């Protein structure tokens, strides 16, 4: 029995009458059939395990995972994610007095190590470890530092912004008025003159600099000086760049004037999927901490905290070298694609200062089709809005986003980046059968089995 979807099942028939699902009705119907047809729940459970295993073999061993928001974690981090401590409840703040429950002495130890390691990694006075996702970090910032009806400014999605800081995300549900940070559509730089003009008229309480398409640093210092006269603050949403920042390979937002920074531990930082928040001003500590608990998190997954602490220790040991290699690989891959005739954003500025390479693939169709064609060859990327797209091009934008975090951690370097560029161009220009490219991709991945930038296993 396989979990693949039966394409002969029309989606409208697959959905029970009167039931609205946002999920693909055919995929859900297949799961229902499986649950109903198997003779025991034990076999149903086994189907879950089997699907996880299939993913582990395909994505984990046979694919070139070039998805920018992903990173492989070390064996220690992975084993901590399934540890006993993850079955324990520890609501509240670290220490015997501010917990709801007793029995937390070792949990306190783990959480305190996590907090202190995070402070060290980001050279910050404060850090919090309880955010299950970076989205919740952004919700924390908006809850702690704004009131409904306040005005903020953030980056629109076609120029790289993320829903986390827009109407449809945490900023929107906080009831904030959102004004665009103007970006030059070609250079993707903040247009500072235009920004100053709009900001002086709108007087935003926060300017959120958060980009999921991110190639170059932002003028944080200039922006924070422009908004300082009315007490405006910069909030840096470093979801993607978090590792690069901690590893000294990108700008350092807290030192350049940002009041608070959030980030995803599972992106370049290469820890467990998780949120991080850091800040320096003691006046922000009570509003942020009081939002995290008891508003955003109660039980906060202590196994995840342990894995985050272990990943942060690894990061402090290897992060600088690892993050530098990620950026070097992105620059090499971008140049190699450009040399092979592919349109790469940022060509006039050295392509990228991050882990990302952004292609304009309109010559080959739209980003969704291109990503699917690459997927057929085991090359995993994603479609992305680019500045020439309109927001309504959401489903079929013309960009393709590539990230070099995972291939770097598996020890690939300049030589492999040239090979990867060839494999991508083989698919885009249909130079070779997809099956032949897929075989080469799988061989390349299998030739790099070991994870780098972590402590040797005992
Ligand atoms: C990925 C991303 C987020 C969300 O992070 P999660 O850890 O997935 O919750 C928020 N902001 C930006 C800019 C992102 O790219």
Short-list 142, 128, 138, CA closest to 94: 128
Best of 135, 238, 272 to mutate for ligand 1, by most ligand atoms within 8 A of CB?
135
Distance 382 CA to ligand 1 centre (A): 15
The reply to whether ligand 1 has any atom less than 6 angstroms from the CB of 210 is yes
Residue 323 and residue 303 share a domain: no
Query: Tell me: the pLDDT tens digits for 306-344?
Result: 999 999 999 999 999 999 999 999 999 999 999 999 999
Residue 213 and residue 85 share a domain: yes
Indicate whether 201 belongs to any domain: yes
Q: Using pLDDT thresholds of 50, 70 and 90, give the confidence band for residue 7.
A: very low
Q: H/E element holding 277?
A: strand 275-279
Q: Is the peptide bond before 294 cis (omega within 30 degrees of 0)?
A: yes
Residue 322 and residue 304 share a domain: no
Q: State the average pLDDT over residues 164-174.
A: 96
Q: H/E element holding 132?
A: none
The reply to whether ligand 1 has any atom less than 6 angstroms from the CB of 146 is no
Domain hosting 342: range is 318-446
Picking from 287, 313, 339, the residue at the C-terminal end of a domain is 313
Residues 212, 217, 219, 224, CA torsion sign: positive
**Mean model confidence pLDDT for the chain:** 95
Indicate whether 28 belongs to any domain: no
Residue 256 and residue 126 share a domain: yes
The reply to whether ligand 1 has any atom less than 6 angstroms from the CB of 134 is yes
What is the predicted pLDDT for the residue at 18?
Answer: 75
Q: Using pLDDT thresholds of 50, 70 and 90, give the confidence band for residue 2.
A: very low
What is the predicted pLDDT for the residue at 313?
Answer: 98
Q: Cβ contacts of residue 290 below 8 Å, gap of 6+? A: 144
Picking from 282, 313, 344, the residue at the C-terminal end of a domain is 313
Position in ligand 1 atom list of the atom nearest CA 162: 13
CATH number at residue 362: 3.90.1150.10
Residue 335 and residue 270 share a domain: no
Picking from 263, 280, 313, the residue at the C-terminal end of a domain is 313
Q: State the average pLDDT over residues 117-141.
A: 98
Residue 163 and residue 92 share a domain: yes
CATH number at residue 207: 3.40.640.10
Of 18-27, 129-138, 228-237, 413-422, where does mean pLDDT reach its minimum? 18-27
Q: Record the pTM.
A: 0.95
Domains of the chain: total:
2
Residue 390 and residue 257 share a domain: no
Residue 329 and residue 298 share a domain: no
Indicate whether 31 belongs to any domain: no
Protein residue closest via CA to atom 1 of ligand 1 = 239
């Amino acid at each position: 029995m396989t979990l693949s979807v039966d394409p002969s099942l029309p989606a409208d028939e697959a959905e029970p009458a009167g039931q609205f699902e946002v999920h693909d009705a055919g995929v859900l119907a297949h799961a229902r059939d499986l649950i109903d047809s198997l003779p025991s729940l034990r076999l149903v459970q086994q189907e879950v395990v089997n699907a996880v295993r299939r993913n582990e073999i395909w994505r984990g061993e046979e694919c070139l995972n070039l998805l920018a928001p992903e990173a492989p974690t070390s064996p220690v981090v992975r084993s901590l994610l399934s540890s006993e401590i993850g079955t324990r409840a520890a609501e509240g703040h670290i220490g015997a007095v501010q917990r709801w429950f007793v029995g937390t002495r070792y949990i306190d130890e783990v959480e305190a190590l996590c907090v202190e390691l995070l402070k060290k990694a980001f050279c910050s006075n404060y850090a919090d470890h309880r955010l299950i996702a970076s989205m919740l970090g952004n919700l924390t910032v908006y809850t702690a530092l704004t009131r409904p009806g306040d005005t903020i400014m953030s980056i629109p999605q076609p120029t790289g912004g993320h829903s986390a800081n827009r109407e449809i995300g945490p900023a929107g549900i906080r009831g904030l008025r959102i004004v665009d940070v103007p970006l030059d559509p070609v250079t993707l730089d903040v247009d500072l003159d235009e920004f100053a003009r709009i900001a002086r008229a709108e007087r935003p309480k926060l300017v959120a600099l958060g980009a999921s398409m991110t190639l170059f640093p932002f003028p944080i210092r200039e922006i924070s000086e422009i908004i300082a006269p009315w007490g405006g603050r910069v909030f840096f949403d470093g979801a993607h760049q978090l590792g690069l920042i901690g590893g000294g390979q990108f700008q350092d937002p807290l030192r350049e004037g940002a009041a608070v920074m959030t980030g995803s531990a599972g992106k370049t930082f290469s820890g467990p999927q998780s949120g991080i928040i850091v800040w320096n001003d003691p006046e922000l500590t009570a509003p942020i901490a009081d939002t995290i608990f008891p508003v955003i998190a109660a039980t906060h997954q202590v196994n995840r905290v342990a894995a985050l602490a272990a990943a942060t220790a690894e990061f402090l040991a290897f992060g600088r070298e690892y993050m530098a290699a990620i950026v070097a690989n992105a620059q090499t891959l971008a140049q190699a694609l450009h040399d092979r005739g592919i349109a790469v954003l940022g060509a006039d500025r050295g392509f990228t200062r991050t882990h990302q390479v952004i292609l304009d693939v309109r010559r080959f169709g739209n980003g969704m089709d291109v990503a699917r064609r690459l997927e057929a060859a085991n090359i995993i990327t994603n479609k992305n809005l680019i500045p020439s797209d309109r927001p309504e091009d959401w489903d079929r934008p013309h960009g393709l986003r590539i990230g070099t975090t995972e291939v770097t951690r598996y020890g690939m370097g300049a030589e492999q980046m040239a090979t990867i560029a060839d494999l991508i161009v083989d698919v885009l220009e249909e130079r070779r059968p997809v099956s032949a490219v897929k075989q080469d991709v799988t061989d390349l991945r299998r030739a790099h089995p070991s994870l780098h930038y972590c402590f040797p296993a005992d």
